[in-house]
Amino acid sequence: MKKILYIFCCIAVLILFFTHPAAVALGCSAGLNLWYTAVLPSLLPFLIVSSLLVGTGLFRYLNRFYAPPLSRLLGISQEGCYAVLMGFLCGFPMGAKVTADLVREEHISIDEGNYLLSFCNNVSPAFFLNYICLAKLGCRSVPWPLVGVFYAVPLLYGFFTRPLRHFQRETGQTAKQASLHRIDFPMLDACIMDSFATVTRLGGYIILFSILTRLSTLLPLGTSASVFLGALLEISGGIDGIVLSATDISSVLRTSLVCACAAFGGFSICAQTRSVIADTPLRLRSYLAGRIVITLLTLLSVLLLPTAAPALRDCW
């Protein structure tokens, strides 16, 4: 039954591709523009530098500033703290990419990698502040309480689910990789080529899901179903759909829906995450399970935020 459904969906998409070339062209143009103007310049430098830091082991010097308290808080190795830092600061799918690199280089165990994958792959603060809060939600100033709640949810999820994970904070692989490696041209070439390959694959997924989001508007669905489908497919298109269609609901509910969409990231981010962990033993279901729970908790937390603190209602 699943195979028949899969074949039917593929045929339906191919038919839409051939019968609506204008929509395909618009989706491709939008995805390419998003990749070229936003993803490529913001993500590629971090990919190259992070690959060098992990490959040489220099990231441990960076860990000295923040890893000790974070390691005690989450019960993870100090090497794993680097994945948390990059996942919360650099945006999708940097947390997954760094976690995969740490597992591949045997800096952390597979079990710890699956745990980190469940909560440390998030929207970057720059995207959340500039695109979501100021541009789409129309905030008059940066709503810091909302920002705090949005990023506290995945961190608290990681904290409370840690007792359910059974792995040691320090591993044998850590000691094995303790020595530093000198940067040379072969390593630099490998890091650059790997980063370009990664960001190019991400661009392909962004374009594909941008096209699918555009084609989804052609389906005979109601407004709510169409917006929900768009939010499931791709984050920026989903947020645009929520903001444009949810004009008759309260600002708090609209903000909650937008934050939930941003927390999930869409199937486009799931595909990108699967791409960067493909050659490791990490499990995509660890990521998906964490995303679903974090999305629901984000929706509930933002809904209750003005009730818990009425003075914050004017933040958006």
Q: Phi and psi of 138, rounded to 5°?
A: 70, 30
What per-residue confidence (pLDDT) applies to 177? 47
For residue 175, pLDDT over 50 is answered with no
Residues 6+ apart with CB under 8 A from 181: 55, 56, 57, 187
Cβ burial of 85 (10 Å; 0-12, 13-18, 19+) is buried
Identity at 4, one-letter amino acid code = I
Tens of pLDDT, residue by residue over 74-114, are: 999 999 999 999 999 988 899 999 999 999 988 899 999 99
What per-residue confidence (pLDDT) applies to 311? 52
3-state secondary structure of 222: coil
For residue 132, pLDDT over 70 is answered with yes
Residues 6+ apart with CB under 8 A from 220: none
Contact 116, 70 (CB under 8 A): no
Euclidean distance between CA atoms 122 and 102, whole angstroms: 18
What per-residue confidence (pLDDT) applies to 259? 95
Contact 268, 123 (CB under 8 A): no
What per-residue confidence (pLDDT) applies to 308? 60
Q: State both tokens at 94.
A: 């940097």
181 confidence band (pLDDT: 50, 70, 90): low
Inter-residue long-range contacts of 97-103, CB under 8 Å, 24+ positions, other chains counted: 97/47, 97/50, 97/198, 97/276, 98/50, 98/54, 99/277, 99/282, 100/276, 100/277, 100/279, 100/280, 100/282, 101/50, 101/51, 101/54, 102/54, 103/280, 103/281, 103/282
Q: What is the mean pLDDT of the chain?
A: 86
Q: Nearest-CA neighbor of 76 among 85, 94, 282, 47?
A: 85
Euclidean distance between CA atoms 85 and 45, whole angstroms: 16
For residue 122, pLDDT over 80 is answered with yes
For residue 173, pLDDT over 70 is answered with no
